[in-house]
Structure 1
């Protein structure tokens, strides 16, 4: 039976730590994360300048030098800090090990955006000939979770780029999958990003589109909403300082206040209570 990824990476407490020239080190070719937060790298670089590198990175020896197995942020920050050598432990690993470790390390750190995560799963499937269930088992995920993440790659490249850039979340992307017209998907995606729609707002808009109740509109509200309801939403937003959505169906309605923190929630409750006392 093949050893677990943790066993293959497990470091002996007595493992030799080597000082390796940074110029001989290359990034893991299977690294799924393509973007690194430069501000956080600079913070780490300042910490390294003050305290040094507290934990060695892990490398694999290659013909041309070394590939990073674990510790690419430390490596990048060390270059910013001006280090010429970095402490490292050398491990013997296969290409398969390198690929799995690169994905797992980033997933455990929650550093990947939704598209990078989905692309990682796709690469594991294609390069290692794994099924969705194989990946789910190895990464302790459910198969439906893997399948739903992979579906994000069906979005137009323009939209996946917005998710990568943080203009939309993975949840926004999954909601947009319900729209089959690719051009409409791009238009709605840009509108949702430009007007900072919540996932819930986007879901309601997509549902009305699919139900045939409205057509694509350049306004921030679905076109099917009566103007007086849109006006009430704007007034409530101004009054309470929060996004408000009013929905009606079968002669019933619902008013939704959106809050993004416990403090904002408490503020809204206080305002609503005060308004009730006044009346």
Structure 2
């Protein structure tokens, strides 16, 4: 019987050391008690010879966090070596891209690395595990990494779950987020929506509906419970029509205010269900009518020029 390959989740610490004694201050801000010691297999290489892995799950790096790490590296150097593999004439980062980015910004010429030889699948697994353990991935990046392990390396969901030390339910729920409209996914990446909001939106099959409600969640700062209630109403055709009408009314009110500020008098928009309508501009004297006329003409001349 073939021996089943174990996941890397629980053994990751042996590949990526999490502690290193040194004089001064650690990257996490704590003071060590011992003098600096090199990790087994650690070596210094030119930073220009190190490049990130284009396939690594993490695509977004928090600017404030990078600046803090950059300041720490300027003072105390890179305290934890990067895990890399040799790739032709350069070293490809397996784990530690954030440290590499901060070191470049800090102007370092060399960085400490530990060179290991891994397969493409192992590299993806390690990158995914490291970022999950350190909570560096946004929900969409995590879901995309799970999907890649399944599609490119033909793993099953329970095998992926085993490798990253997560339950199968967590992996399944994570991947479901990829069924959302791409614009909604971007809102999750930009932290405009929480995963709770996102899961609620999954009950809507129409992606245009997902977009409309996602924007409303952000604009009105709705809670997850508010969204769940709203979706129940949304699925009711009569309620849905009322919600759209409310949305249009809000839009018209905003347009009326903007036109009022331009014209200098009250403006009313009267819309019909067909999409047609009319705009009323009020005036209270002949002088005000003349002012409105010249205002419209000046706008027209500005467009023609």
Per the normalisation by structure 2, the TM-score is 0.68
Is 1:68–2:116 an aligned residue pair? Answer: no
Change (3 A) 1:70 1:209: same
Query: Residue 98 of structure 1 aligns with which residue?
Result: 123
- 1:35 Cα deviation after fit: 0.6
Distance 1:208 1:145 in 2: 28
Paired with 2:39 and 2:237, the residues of 1 have a C-alpha distance of 67
> Is the 8 Å Cα contact of residues 125 and 132 (structure 1) preserved in structure 2?
yes
User: CA contact under 8 A between 2:44 and 2:111: conserved in structure 1?
Assistant: yes
Cα deviation, residue 143, structure 1: 1.7
Any conservation in 2 of the 1:56–1:87 contact (CA below 8 Å)? yes
Q: In the TM superposition, what is the alpha-carbon distance from 1:144 to its structure 2 partner?
A: 2.1
Change (3 A) 1:8 1:180: closer
**Equivalent position to 2:65, from 40, 56, 59:** 40
Offset, 1:121:
0.5
**Following the alignment from structure 1 to structure 2, what is the Cα–Cα distance between the partners of residues 214 and 142?**
38
Structure 2 counterpart SS, 1:214: helix
Quote the offset at 1:3 in angstroms: 5.2
RMSD, aligned α-carbons:
2.1
Q: Distance in 2 between matches of 1:78 and 1:218?
A: 54
Q: Could you tell me which residue of structure 1 aligns to residue 231 of structure 2?
A: 206
The CA deviation at 1:72 is 1.1
Structure number with larger C-alpha Rg: 2
Please state whether the residue corresponding to 1:168 is helix, strand or coil.
coil
**Which runs of structure 1 show a deviation greater than 6 angstroms over 4 or more consecutive aligned residues?**
none
Give the one of 116, 127, 134 matched to 1:109.
Answer: 134
Distance 1:214 1:20 in 2: 64
Distance in 2 separating the partners of 1:40 and 1:217: 41
User: Please, which runs of 5 or more residues in structure 2 have no aligned partner?
Assistant: 18-37, 248-305
Name 1:195's counterpart in structure 2: 220
Gaps of 5+ in 1: 221-279
- Structure 1 residues 144 and 3, CA gap change in structure 2 (3 angstroms): closer
